[in-house]
Amino acid sequence: MAWARPTAMGRSDVAVVAVQLQEVAKDVARLEHEMAEHRKDHEREVRARLQSRRWLIGIAVAVLAAVEGPLIGVLLHVHG
Protein backbone atom coordinates (compact mmCIF):
# COMPACT_ATOMS: atom_id res chain seq x y z
CA MET A 1 0.00 0.00 0.00
CA ALA A 2 1.44 3.33 -0.98
CA TRP A 3 1.66 6.21 1.44
CA ALA A 4 -1.49 8.27 1.30
CA ARG A 5 -3.15 10.92 3.30
CA PRO A 6 -5.67 9.46 5.76
CA THR A 7 -8.50 11.26 4.00
CA ALA A 8 -7.59 9.49 0.73
CA MET A 9 -7.78 6.01 2.30
CA GLY A 10 -10.85 3.96 1.55
CA ARG A 11 -12.80 1.79 3.96
CA SER A 12 -11.06 -1.36 2.78
CA ASP A 13 -7.65 0.24 3.42
CA VAL A 14 -8.72 1.16 6.95
CA ALA A 15 -9.97 -2.38 7.50
CA VAL A 16 -6.63 -3.81 6.33
CA VAL A 17 -4.75 -1.52 8.69
CA ALA A 18 -7.10 -2.45 11.55
CA VAL A 19 -6.47 -6.17 10.94
CA GLN A 20 -2.71 -5.56 10.84
CA LEU A 21 -2.88 -3.65 14.13
CA GLN A 22 -4.81 -6.52 15.71
CA GLU A 23 -2.16 -8.97 14.55
CA VAL A 24 0.59 -6.74 15.95
CA ALA A 25 -1.24 -6.58 19.29
CA LYS A 26 -1.46 -10.40 19.35
CA ASP A 27 2.23 -10.69 18.50
CA VAL A 28 3.17 -8.27 21.28
CA ALA A 29 1.05 -10.17 23.80
CA ARG A 30 2.63 -13.48 22.75
CA LEU A 31 6.11 -11.96 22.98
CA GLU A 32 5.41 -10.60 26.46
CA HIS A 33 4.27 -14.07 27.55
CA GLU A 34 7.36 -15.71 26.06
CA MET A 35 9.63 -13.17 27.78
CA ALA A 36 7.92 -13.80 31.12
CA GLU A 37 8.46 -17.55 30.69
CA HIS A 38 12.08 -16.97 29.72
CA ARG A 39 12.59 -14.81 32.80
CA LYS A 40 11.12 -17.55 35.02
CA ASP A 41 13.38 -20.17 33.41
CA HIS A 42 16.39 -17.93 33.93
CA GLU A 43 15.53 -17.39 37.61
CA ARG A 44 15.19 -21.18 38.10
CA GLU A 45 18.58 -21.76 36.48
CA VAL A 46 20.20 -19.12 38.71
CA ARG A 47 18.72 -20.74 41.83
CA ALA A 48 19.91 -24.19 40.70
CA ARG A 49 23.44 -22.87 40.06
CA LEU A 50 23.56 -21.22 43.47
CA GLN A 51 22.41 -24.40 45.17
CA SER A 52 25.05 -26.42 43.28
CA ARG A 53 27.75 -23.97 44.34
CA ARG A 54 26.65 -24.20 47.97
CA TRP A 55 26.95 -27.98 47.81
CA LEU A 56 30.37 -27.70 46.20
CA ILE A 57 31.59 -25.26 48.86
CA GLY A 58 30.24 -27.51 51.61
CA ILE A 59 32.02 -30.54 50.15
CA ALA A 60 35.26 -28.57 49.75
CA VAL A 61 35.13 -27.43 53.37
CA ALA A 62 34.45 -30.99 54.53
CA VAL A 63 37.37 -32.35 52.47
CA LEU A 64 39.70 -29.66 53.79
CA ALA A 65 38.66 -30.40 57.35
CA ALA A 66 39.15 -34.13 56.81
CA VAL A 67 42.60 -33.67 55.26
CA GLU A 68 43.94 -30.71 57.22
CA GLY A 69 42.81 -31.89 60.66
CA PRO A 70 44.94 -35.04 60.75
CA LEU A 71 47.77 -33.29 58.89
CA ILE A 72 47.96 -30.58 61.55
CA GLY A 73 47.90 -33.28 64.24
CA VAL A 74 50.80 -35.10 62.60
CA LEU A 75 52.80 -31.90 62.18
CA LEU A 76 52.23 -30.91 65.81
CA HIS A 77 53.20 -34.42 66.96
CA VAL A 78 56.41 -34.35 64.89
CA HIS A 79 57.47 -30.92 66.20
CA GLY A 80 56.22 -31.39 69.72
Q: How far is Cα 12 from Cα 4, in angstroms, rounded to an integer?
A: 14
**pLDDT at residue 1 in the model:** 52
Interatomic CA distance for residues 75 and 25, integer angstroms: 73
The better pLDDT of the pair 72, 49 is held by 49
More confident residue, 5 or 60: 60
> Is a pLDDT exceeding 70 seen at residue 7?
no
- pLDDT for 19-43, tens place per residue? 999 999 999 999 999 999 999 999 9
CA distance 43 to 62: 29
Domain boundaries, the chain: 10-79
pLDDT tens, position by position, 43-64: 999 999 999 999 999 999 999 8
| DSSP code for 50 | H
User: pLDDT at residue 9 above 80?
Assistant: no
With beta carbons less than 8 A apart as the criterion, state whether 21 and 9 touch: no
**CA gap 16, 52 in Å, rounded:** 54
